[in-house]
Amino acid sequence: MDKNFDFNQVGKRMPYATPDDFFAKMQSNILDAVQDSTTKNTDSKAKKRQVRKWLWPVSLSAAAAVAAMFVINMHFFALKPSAASNDMLEVEQAFAQLSDGDQAFILDVYQDDVFINN
């Protein structure tokens, strides 16, 4: 390496060149881009607000419709006292038609069943 290097010998010439109006155009391009992005940003915020305006009523009405379907479903398919007694009567008749050994076996199984006795 040369220890006698002198910057004065290098000169003051720029290693690159730019057009005359480069920096003015760059500034205007940046300002235009920033203004476009802010208008796009506000447009997306406005769209989000519009979605939120109709999202709540739609979701609440959907939830109300589902709740109404559950209530109607429980109302129509609930066992009526007469239907429950008819079902029990059919079970008693079927049980009476079994042999004595089968009846004893079924009673033993039901008495030992953990889930029925709890």
Does this model's pTM top 0.75? My answer is no
Q: Tell me the C-alpha distance between 26 and 55, whole Å.
A: 43
**pLDDT given at position 87:** 79
How much is the average pLDDT of 101-115? 85
* Percent of residues, the chain, with pLDDT higher than 70: 75
> Distances in Å between the alpha carbon of 12 and those of 16, 23, 24, 117?
12, 21, 24, 101
Q: Tell me the C-alpha distance between 71 and 53, whole Å.
A: 28
15-65 residue pLDDT tens: 778 888 888 899 888 888 887 766 666 767 777 788 788 888 888 888 999
CA angle 57-61-64, nearest 5°? 140
Q: Tell me the C-alpha distance between 11 and 21, whole Å.
A: 25
The residue extents of the domains of the chain are: 80-118
